[in-house]
């Protein structure tokens, strides 16, 4: 998104890198449910090692054997909700979610406060309530 040089609010956006374009045509609404394969990690440590805090699959993503997890679009952190509503079935995005659109100053469980989160998300199915 464009950033105003006089007032950059970079923490108000989810930054996404498109890894694969899907063939779906429907974007999920706030009230829909989705099925996704995902992996969440923190920004790599100073020594380059990754800290994975949550994942729906092990190893490399293989959509043929991975079992997607279903959840309500409005039942996840703000960064996920924001990004999911821009995706279509089959999309796979790497999302960079600032702390204020994730778990904020306090963090959550094994996620420290003020953490920017990185998610690899594959939207498998949109389950609409329309």
Tokens representing 61 are 């993503």
Q: Which of 61, 120, 56 is nearest to 94 (CA)?
A: 120
Secondary structure tally for the chain: helices H, strands E: 1, 6
Gap between the Cα atoms of 108 and 98, Å rounded: 14
Q: For 73-129, what is each residue's pLDDT tens digit? A: 999 999 999 999 999 999 999 999 999 999 999 999 889 999 999 999 999 999 987
Q: For 10-56, what is each residue's pLDDT tens digit? A: 677 899 999 999 999 999 999 999 999 999 999 988 898 899 999 99
Q: At a CB cut-off of 8 Å and minimum separation 6, what does 104 contact?
A: 113
């Amino acid at each position: 998104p464009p950033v105003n040089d006089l007032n950059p609010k970079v923490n108000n956006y989810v930054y996404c890198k498109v890894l694969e374009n899907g063939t779906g045509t429907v974007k999920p609404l706030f009230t829909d449910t989705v099925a996704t394969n995902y992996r969440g990690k923190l920004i790599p440590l100073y020594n380059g090692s990754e800290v994975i805090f949550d994942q729906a699959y092990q190893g490399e993503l293989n959509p043929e054997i991975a079992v997607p997890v279903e959840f309500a679009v409005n039942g996840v952190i703000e960064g996920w909700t924001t990004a999911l509503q821009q995706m279509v079935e089959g999309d796979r995005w790497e999302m960079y979610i600032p702390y204020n659109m994730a778990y904020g100053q306090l963090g959550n469980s094994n996620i420290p406060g003020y953490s920017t989160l990185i998610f690899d998300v594959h939207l498998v199915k949109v389950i609409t309530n329309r």
